[in-house]
Amino acid sequence: MTQVFGATSTTDDVLSGVSLKNKRVLVTGVSAGLGVETARALAAHGAHVVGAVRDLAKAKRATDQVREAAAQGGGAFELTALDLADLASVRACADRLNAQGAPFDLVIANAGVMATPFGHTKDGFETQFGTNHLGHFVLINRIAGLLRDGARVVNVSSAGHRFADVDLDDPNFDHTPYVPFVAYGRSKTANILFAVAFDARHRSRGVRATAVHPGAIMTELVRHMAPGEIEAMVSQVNEQAIADGHEPFQFKTIPQGAATSVWAGSVADADAVGAHYCEDCHVSDVIPDDQPISLANPGVRAYALDATRAEALWTKSEEMVGERFA
């Protein structure tokens, strides 16, 4: 009987009794928070984890527990340089991985930024769209040949995708007033749509892609928010939740937050999660775009799973990065 997990399940819960020996996993953003916990849990169960990070020195200091877990669980852990806000760095990372030629069973696109001040990546893209979406778009497509048949790709998205659909006419806010959480919403919707389009291209060989919402966790991701902004947002969300007859919002622990990525990548049925959006260790219900929904409630907007929209984003992304991918 398949065990059912939920919002309070941890990485250790979902991987209990699971062996990942001889599995090779790439996780981006392994220098803090969810990335470190994701790598730790996978390595503890025997996986060989490659952590891709912008700051190698910081990541080395932050991942002692990952190395310890690998040593105890029969896994392995290594770091490689990756700056998602610089496509030269992204391509160099992909080139190194391709030169090594070692295949992957799982890629977890975990790294990202949230609610940053207006700015641009090294290549001139709006910071959040460029880092959260375009960097991963280029990296994963460039190493697609390393994915074994039956491999999985997990894009870490967010309930914040409900803040905004992608804007294919003005992705860099050249003509639109910049609002940090609108930009974040666009990038998180892009994470989901990328999973939908990637899944369509690779499912014939058993490679499935999905997107997940980890839940709300206090990590370095909130560093760009003003003092009191989180508290005000939680208060507003809870007022709406109570008005709708729902339980008040609760933050997750880091092991609870990383659980859905690990579940979707290693435990869940591949056909069940492929081209879908998951949260709390289950596939989410689709919420019509015109139906009000609080951030405290589960569900994915229909626009984020629209296959036509996913293909349009793919084409726009290729145009922006100057590369075409099969």
Ramachandran quadrant class, 29 (left: phi over 0; alpha: psi -120 to 50; beta: rest): left
State how far the alpha carbon of 269 is from the alpha carbons of 10, 140, 227, in Å: 18, 22, 41
Segment holding 105, helix H or strand E? strand 104-109
State the pLDDT at residue 194.
99
Look at 49-63, 84-98, 216-230 and tell me which has the smallest mean pLDDT: 216-230
Phi and psi dihedrals of 234, rounded to 5?
-65, -40
Across the chain, what does the average pLDDT equal? 94
State the pLDDT at residue 258.
98
> Is 180 contained in some domain?
yes
* pLDDT at position 222 over 60: no
Give the 3-state secondary structure of residue 77.
strand
The pLDDT confidence band at residue 295, using thresholds 50, 70 and 90, is confident
Q: Tell me the mean pLDDT in the region 317-326.
A: 97
Measured N-to-C along each axis, helices 307-321 and 135-142 cross at an angle, to the nearest 10 degrees, of 90
pLDDT tens-digit readout, 270-283: 999 999 999 999 99
CA dihedral sign, ordered 267, 271, 275, 281? negative
> Is 3 contained in some domain?
no
User: Which residues are known catalytic residues?
Assistant: 184
Look at 60-69, 184-193, 242-251, 294-303 and tell me which has the smallest mean pLDDT: 242-251
Instruction: Please state, in angstroms and rounded to a whole number, the distance separating the CA atoms of residues 71 and 163.
Output: 42
Total number of domains constituting the chain: 1
> Is 110 contained in some domain?
yes
> Is 251 contained in some domain?
yes
> Is 279 contained in some domain?
yes
Instruction: For residue 274, give every residue at least 6 positions away whose Cβ sits within 8 Å of its Cβ, in sequence order, or none.
Output: 199, 203, 208, 209, 210
DSSP state of 225: S
Nearest Cα neighbor of 115 from 2, 28, 229, 13 is 229
pLDDT tens-digit readout, 154-169: 999 999 999 999 999 9
- Residue pair 294/235 in contact by the 8 Å Cβ criterion: no
> Is 223 contained in some domain?
yes
Instruction: Please state, in angstroms and rounded to a whole number, the distance separating the CA atoms of residues 206 and 124.
Output: 35
**At 289, which amino acid appears?**
D
Q: Tell me the mean pLDDT in the region 193-219.
A: 95
pLDDT tens-digit readout, 106-115: 999 999 999 9
State the pLDDT at residue 1.
42
Share of the chain above pLDDT 90, in %: 86
Q: Tell me the mean pLDDT in the region 67-78.
A: 98
Q: Is 6 exposed, middle or buried (0-12, 13-18, 19+ CB in 10 A)?
A: exposed
> Is 207 contained in some domain?
yes
pLDDT tens-digit readout, 11-67: 999 999 999 999 999 999 999 999 999 999 999 999 999 999 999 999 999 999 999
Instruction: Please state, in angstroms and rounded to a whole number, the distance separating the CA atoms of residues 193 and 167.
Output: 13
DSSP state of 163: G
Q: Which domain holds residue 241?
A: 11-321
State the pLDDT at residue 283.
98
Segment holding 213, helix H or strand E? strand 208-213
316: domain CATH number? 3.40.50.720
> Is 188 contained in some domain?
yes
Instruction: Please state, in angstroms and rounded to a whole number, the distance separating the CA atoms of residues 311 and 313.
Output: 5
State the pLDDT at residue 220.
59
